[in-house]
């Protein structure tokens, strides 16, 4: 048997592939076009693994994807491929709508054609799992209850709007064409291999280079942090036991203000890699202008996946963040290489202005 993963060279996808091969003996095909966020270095330990196959393709490359499906006959497709950075979507939304909407549509069409010609017995087992985000639900006030699967979609950033649109497309292929789709909506992930444009790796990388640590607004926005390994285990649980047509919320039940997260990282670095000038890393904190449309709070109610599929997060933030910081401390070459890759010039200028 075989599964297909798209976007497997990115942060969550590559962690998923490592998790997969730590337990499974099934072929896995990774389809990724390697944008600035995709990095084959993340998977180099698998180069000799005969069960791992890589195709450099966009999910919108219809005829190539068709050929891959017909060659490998997968029992499931897990769609991680996306443009994923909110700041980038604010200043250049087109690529978000191209990949997250139009190319997801193309992937769905090809998958539907593949599914339609499958033998009935294989149809019963097939799943298309679409990896989505809590950001589609919009922003919570401090006194509101965490997002449930039944919350309305109220996306606020172009990124969130593109993910909401792709979720709607997936839902429509399930309802209209009976394609067995499942959507998972997860909260903020952290862990190894995350591109240093996102808060946690950006703060670690800037601190190590003694650069400012930009805090948007007052730093009082709240995110619900989940270690990427726990997310990947949830996806494997959904792959094996999740029910087609369902959606599952996945969260860490670990709400923290951004400023708190930044201070935890600074304190940890003070212990692990004290500054030569004897100053504290916190001295690098700089409050900068806020992200336009900045969502105040995300929080996930994971009761459904916990009760129905018996998944729960296992990694405590205090342990996970220390392991993550240590991983970045030991991965200076990886950091240098990913930052050397063609990263949007506009964003670089924008960060400098902040």
Which residues here bind ligand NAD, judged by CB under 6 A? 6-7, 9-13, 32-35, 37-38, 58-60, 80-84, 99, 103, 131, 133, 163, 186, 188-189, 195
| DSSP label of 226 | E
Q: How far is residue 185 CA from its own chain's centroid?
A: 10
- Residue 35 contact among ligand NAD, ligand DAU, none, beta carbon within 5 to 8 Å by kind: ligand NAD
232 contact choice in ligand NAD, ligand DAU, none (CB below 5 to 8 Å, kind-dependent):
none
Supply the minimum distance, in Å, between the C-beta of residue 246 and ligand DAU: 20
Interacting residue ranges for ligand DAU, rule: CB under 6 A: 84-86, 133-135, 187-188, 198-199, 202, 214-216, 221, 223, 258, 291, 298
Q: Which is nearer to ligand NAD, 253 or 270 (CB)?
A: 253
CB of 82 to ligand DAU, least distance (A): 8
- Give the catalytic positions in this structure: 134-135, 159
- Minimum Å gap between C-beta 58 and ligand NAD is 4
Partner interacting with residue 11 (select from ligand NAD, ligand DAU, none; CB below 5-8 Å by kind): ligand NAD
Closest-CA residue to 130 (of 172, 178, 203, 185): 185
Q: Which is nearer to ligand DAU, 69 or 234 (CB)?
A: 234
- 150/160 Cα distance (integer angstroms): 17
Which residues touch 322 (CB under 8 Å, ≥6 apart)? 268
Q: 260 φ, ψ to 5°?
A: -65, -45
Q: What whole-number distance in Å separates Cα of residue 98 and Cα of residue 353? A: 28
Quick one: angle between helices 199-208 and 317-329, nearest 10?
50
**Interaction partner, residue 10 (ligand NAD, ligand DAU, none; CB < 5-8 Å by kind):** ligand NAD
Vertex 267, ends 265 and 273: CA angle to 5°? 90
For ligand NAD, the nearest residue by Cβ is 10
**78 vs 207, beta carbon nearer ligand NAD:** 78
Parallel, antiparallel or unpaired: strands 52-55 and 76-79: unpaired
User: Nearer Cβ to ligand DAU, position 18 or 223?
Assistant: 223
Whether residue 330 contacts residue 70, with contact meaning beta carbons closer than 8 Å, is answered with no
Q: Which is nearer to ligand DAU, 179 or 202 (CB)?
A: 202
Name the minimum Å distance from CB 237 to ligand DAU.
19
In this structure, how many other beta carbons lie within 10 angstroms of the beta carbon of residue 273?
15
For the chain, what is the largest distance between any 2 Cα atoms, rounded to a whole number of angstroms? Answer: 68
H helices present in 24-157, as ranges: 62-72, 86-91, 94-97, 104-116, 120-123
58 interface partner picked from ligand DAU, ligand NAD, none, CB below 5 to 8 A per type: ligand NAD
Least distance (Å) between residue 196 CB and ligand DAU: 9
Q: How far is the CB of 145 from ligand NAD (least distance, A)?
A: 20
221 binds, options ligand NAD, ligand DAU, none, Cβ within 5 to 8 A by partner type: ligand DAU
d(CA 56, CA 64): 10
Q: Which of 308, 86, 278, 108 is nearest to 197 (CA)?
A: 86
What phi-psi label fits residue 79: left (phi over 0), alpha (psi between -120 and 50 degrees) or beta? beta
Which residues are within 8 A (CB) of 150 and not within 5 positions of it... i.e. 6 or more apart?
Answer: none
Find which of ligand NAD, ligand DAU, none residue 192 binds, CB within 5 to 8 Å per kind: none
Closest CB to ligand NAD among residues 58, 233? 58
CA-nearest of 93, 86, 98 to 59 is 98
Q: How far apart are CA 228 and CA 236, in angstroms?
A: 12
Between residues 164 and 325, which has the closer beta carbon with respect to ligand NAD? 164
Shortest reach from residue 259's CB to ligand DAU, in Å: 8
């Amino acid at each position: 048997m075989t599964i297909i993963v798209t976007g497997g060279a990115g942060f969550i996808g590559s962690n998923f592939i490592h998790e997969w091969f730590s337990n499974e003996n099934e072929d896995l095909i990774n389809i990724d076009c390697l944008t600035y966020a995709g990095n084959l270095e993340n998977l180099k330990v698998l180069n000799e693994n005969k069960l791992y196959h890589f195709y450099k393709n966009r999910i919108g490359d219809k005829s190539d994807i068709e050929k891959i499906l017909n060659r490998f006959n997968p029992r499931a497709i897990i769609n991680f491929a996306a443009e994923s950075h909110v700041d980038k979507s604010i200043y250049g939304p087109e690529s978000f709508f191209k990949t997250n909407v139009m190319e997801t549509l193309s992937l769905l069409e090809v998958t539907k054609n593949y599914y339609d010609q499958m033998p009935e017995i294989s149809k019963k087992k097939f799943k298309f799992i679409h990896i989505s985000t809590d950001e589609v639900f919009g922003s919570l006030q401090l006194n509101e209850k965490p997002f449930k699967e039944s919350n309305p979609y109220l996306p606020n950033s172009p990124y969130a709007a593109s993910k909401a649109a792709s979720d709607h497309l997936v839902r429509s292929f399930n309802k209209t064409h009976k394609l067995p789709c499942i959507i998972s909506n997860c909260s903020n992930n952290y862990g190894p291999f995350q591109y240093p444009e996102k808060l946690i790796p950006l703060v670690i990388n800037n601190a190590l280079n003694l650069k400012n640590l930009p805090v948007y607004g007052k730093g009082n926005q709240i995110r619900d942090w989940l270690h990427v390994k726990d997310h990947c285990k949830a996806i494997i649980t959904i792959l094996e036991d999740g029910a087609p047509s369902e959606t599952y919320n996945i969260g860490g039940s670990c709400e923290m203000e951004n400023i708190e997260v930044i201070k935890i990282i600074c304190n940890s670095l003070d212990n692990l890699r004290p500054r030569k000038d004897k100053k504290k890393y916190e001295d690098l904190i700089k409050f900068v202008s806020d992200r336009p449309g900045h969502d105040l709070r995300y929080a996930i109610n994971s009761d459904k996946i916990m009760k129905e599929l018996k998944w729960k997060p296992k990694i405590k933030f205090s342990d996970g963040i220390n392991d993550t910081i240590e991983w970045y401390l030991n991965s200076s070459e990886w950091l240098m290489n990913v930052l050397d890759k063609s990263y949007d010039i506009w964003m670089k200028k924008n960060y400098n202005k902040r």
